[in-house]
A and B are shown apart, each in its own frame.
Chain A
Amino acid sequence: MGRKLDASRKEKRGPGRKSRKQKGAEAELAHFLAADVPASKRLCSRSRRRAAKRCQELPTPVDKANADHQELSAPQDKKKDFHQKPITGKKTHEMQHQKASILGFSDENAEWLTLAKRKRLQSEESKEEECPELGYGSEEDSVSDNEHLSLGSGDAEEMVDDYGTSSNSESEQLPIEKAARKLKLLQEKKGSRQGSSSRDDNDDAVASDLALNMDVEEAFVLPSSQAIQEISLHPTDLHVIHQRIRDNVEVLQNFATRREAERTRQEYLTLLRKDLAVYFSYGDYLIEKLMELFPVSELVDFLEANEVQRPMTIRTNTLKTRRRDLAQVLINRGVNLDPLGKWSKTGLVIYDSSVPIGATPEYLAGHYMLQGASSLLPVMALAPQENEKILDMCCAPGGKTSYIAQLMKNTGMILANDANTERLKSVVGNLHRLGVTNTVVSNYDGRQFPKVLGGFDRVLLDAPCSGTGVISKDPMIKTNKVEVDLQRCAHLQKELLLSAIDSVDANSETGGYLVYCTCSITVEENEWVTEYALKKRNVKLVPTGLDFGKEGFTRFRERRFHPSLKLARRFYPHTHNMDGFYVAKFKKFSNMIPKLVKEVDSVLATEPTSLDIPAAVAAPAAKQVKNSKDQGLEVNEQFNGLSPAQHKTGVKCKRKSAMQKRLHRKSTAGKAKKHMYKKFKKGN
């Protein structure tokens, strides 16, 4: 049946899809990631056993073939020749390498210096004692070690087996997730035995040199700043750039020991940024943003994941069918699929299909919807209940809206809104196709919302964003995003979020919740916006109910966010194999709109009453006073959300009152400040 043909297994044999996509460079990168971690080349117990078996089977035919070799060479040499025979393509390199890495071993001294001893030493060093039944006989070990060094096709096969055995328990994990998990494990291991890894690193370097067929020094030498400029002007071969990225990352990961003495980390990072921008063809601004977001090793993973499409996923429309029935029907049509994961009861992953998934009779009859895995998450976080009144503020193309309707079993009512008339056509089509009947579709700008209609039990705001999480879908994002775009998005998101919050009815019996999500991963569009809403309205963050994903940032570079931001969830392409996504769930606890912005004096005069908001309200207020003493401009900036959001959790009332006094004394400063607020209000 369909299950047998597991795409994840299939892909790992052979060169892999990355190399298929972009010949050369991508294959090298995959190689480099593996080589980065020395332990990944070690064979697992089962594959070693297999290697041993292969070795036992081999001798008879090859011995005959090598009869002339036997005659010519000494008995000790025979063993060595036999093992070198199968890898003639890389024979010379292999020889050189062996000579280099094995101290003083050559044909001359072969008589008294045997390979076996050396191998044993190394295998002990690398702590592989998993197979006691496998003797440390010279033949077997030298075979496995030859494979180990040559990194040829045989080694690739062994890697497959390694994956297979290690992932048996986690069979529902997708290949990219497995890879991420494995990399993490290996990094931990590497950290624990840093001392012993230097030799392995050397081995890796040499091995990859063989593959690249280039001569690069073992220690990475950072080019001079002048040279860097030249490089950026005249981009060279992708292979060279890739090699440089690899080396650079290696140095950066172990900076204290591997750096050049007088070069700063900044210089290394600058080179890396330029190289990554060229190699993955990103714009300067975006790559800088991404480097702020991820550590270097993760960054490469992320960029690489963006080159690959996410798996196609569908959502069963439980209004019309059940997942089991749908899966059966699709399998009969020649579709290869699997359940999406434990977290989803309705999702299916499509591996491959002999029919177009978007045009089967089942699709047309509305039995399923093509929908990314990540867009199921905000609706699950929203957790709509039956008979509620729900607003989907930016609904196109209707995937999330129909999922909400499905969870509500077509009861209650949904207002699906989108600002774009053209995109609403697909919403209407999808809703009718999926048999959703409880929906009203409107075409307002989301910012008008509390005026049009308010008092919703729950609101879903899937805000328009820069789309930095979906680069694999739209590669144009790599180059066409500049700072202004991000700021514009963030500003619109803040406005939308405030009107979304105002549309929620805090006194709702079942609801009072709001989910904010974007398909972007930048902090400006996510944590900043969330933080802004926390300050401006009577809302608090609550757990999203999603048991995976990374926590939102509470601190990012020089910025500090509200500690509850760790309740928000981030999803990345390289760790979760879905589009980059951010989900935050708010609970509105009062319909009052705090008057924080209008009169700062009144805020200072009144002590914060609610227990939930002192951190959110008092801290910025205190900060404003401090700032306004020096410069009115800073205050203004802060209210625009552009300056760092400062959180001083231990703001004392004493200090506040002292400052209040000072403020009254300095009436001029107060005036200036009030002026700034007015200006801000106008600007907003």
Chain B
Amino acid sequence: MLSSSTSTAAILDASRLPLPLSRPFLFRPGASSACLAERRMRPLTEEETRALFERLSKYIGENIKLLVDRPDGTYCFRLHNERVYYVSEKILKLATSIAREKLVSLGTCFGKFTKSQKFRLHITALDYLAPYAKYKIWVKPGAEQSFLYGNHVLKSGLGRITENTNQYQGVVVYSMSDIPLGFGVAAKSTQECRKLDPMAIVVFHQADIGEYVRHEETLT
């Protein structure tokens, strides 16, 4: 599972020595030495894995294990530039020959770790969330547009919702023609939704596929 070549690792280890001025190109102002190490592509640490899986399990529950144990080859998570990529071992091997600063992306980007070490899912993870999602809601065609512009889903736009969805449960948002549009968090449980004001929020917006057009620069 160890990814990068020994020479790169050696250089990076050297950078941890208290001689940052001798290697100014490795030194980012304002970044701790721990952050320096994170710029290298590497497997996730224990805490990072826990943060990632906690977040993922909000949407797909125990289906996470389907992501990890796949019949069509070994897949793994890799951290590169504070982003988490989900990638097949074969492709990972190819990527190891690319220099760190020249590598832009590999496989699928799931999200990134914020400065406070919380994990944030990106819309690019939708391809893996949607098929395994446990709780879904469907929005009416009229409300599709609104959601794709980054707005919350209102009761008036709610088409269907999975039974026994709890409040603050992660849900995947679908259009009525079963196209996954994004994901968010249920603002109310299914029971509460029944007797809700039409303008009340049902799902808090987190990410939607409109971001492919709106935020192409900051997508991953």
Contacts and interface: CB of A to CB of B under 8 A. Distances in A.
Contact of B209 (A413, A431, A433): A433
B38 to A, nearest CB: 19
B179 A439 contact: no
Contacts of A428: 104-105, 109, 219-220
B14 to A, nearest CB: 24
Interface in B178-218: 179-181, 209-210, 212-213, 216-217
A389 interface: yes
B179 A453 contact: no
A359 B179 CA distance: 14
Contacts of B98: 415, 440, 442, 444, 452-453
Contact of B181 (A359, A365, A444): A365
B94 A361 contact: no
Interface residues of B, number: 34
A80 B212 CA distance: 69
Interface string A352-366: 000000110110111
A433 B212 contact: yes
B216 A425 contact: yes
B179 A413 contact: no
Contacts of B103: 440-443
Given A365-B180, A428-B105, A358 B94 contact: no
B213 A389 contact: no
Contacts of A297: none
Interface in B98-132: 98-99, 102-109, 124, 127
A422 B155 CA distance: 40
B85 to A, nearest CB: 10
A437 B108 contact: yes
Contacts of B219: 425, 428-429, 432
Contact of B148 (A361, A425, A429): A361
Contacts of A196: none
B212 A443 contact: no
Nearest to B210: A364
Nearest to B95: A440
Contacts of A425: 216-217, 219
A429 B212 CA distance: 6
Contacts of A437: 87-88, 107-108, 127
B97 interface: yes
A619 B95 CA distance: 43
Given A364-B209, A425-B216, A432-B124, A440 B105 contact: yes
B97 A444 contact: no
B220 A432 contact: yes
A563 B57 CA distance: 63
B177 A329 contact: yes
A441 B105 contact: yes
A157 B98 CA distance: 63
A393 B99 CA distance: 16
B181 A438 contact: no
B70 to A, nearest CB: 12
B65 interface: no
B212 A364 contact: yes
Nearest to A436: B108
A439 B109 CA distance: 11
B102 A389 contact: no
A438 B127 contact: no
Contact of B213 (A329, A364, A432, A438): A364
Q: Which of A389, A428, A442 has the most CB of B within 10 A?
A: A442
A362 B141 CA distance: 13
A359 B107 CA distance: 25
Contacts of B88: 437-438
A439 B177 contact: no
A309 interface: no
A23 B152 CA distance: 48
Contacts of A413: 90-91, 94
B8 to A, nearest CB: 14
Interface string B29-41: 0000000000000
A443 B102 contact: yes
A329 B176 CA distance: 13
B175 A361 contact: yes
Given A428-B219, A432-B124, A442-B98, A365 B179 contact: yes
B111 to A, nearest CB: 12
Interface in B138-152: 144, 148
A441 B106 contact: yes
A429 B216 contact: yes
Nearest to B123: A432
B53 to A, nearest CB: 20
B124 A358 contact: no
Contact of B104 (A358, A359, A433, A442): A442
B97 A424 contact: no
Contact of B106 (A427, A429, A439): A439
Contacts of A433: 209, 212
A441 B212 contact: no
A549 interface: no
B100 to A, nearest CB: 11
A435 interface: yes
Contacts of B210: 364
Contact of B94 (A415, A426, A443): A415
B220 A440 contact: no
A438 B179 CA distance: 23
Contacts of A389: 94
A449 B107 CA distance: 21
Interface string B144-165: 1000100000000000000000
B112 to A, nearest CB: 13
Interface string B13-36: 000000000000000000000000
Contacts of A367: 179
Interface string B55-67: 0000000000000
Contacts of B95: 440
Interface in A356-384: 358-359, 361-362, 364-367
29 contacts: A358-B213, A359-B213, A361-B179, A365-B180, A365-B181, A366-B209, A367-B179, A425-B216, A425-B217, A425-B219, A428-B220, A432-B108, A432-B109, A432-B127, A433-B212, A437-B87, A437-B88, A437-B107, A437-B108, A438-B88, A439-B91, A439-B105, A439-B106, A440-B103, A440-B107, A442-B104, A443-B102, A452-B98, A453-B98
3 cross-chain pairs, A with B, having the tightest CB-CB distances, nearest first:
A364-B209, A432-B124, A441-B104
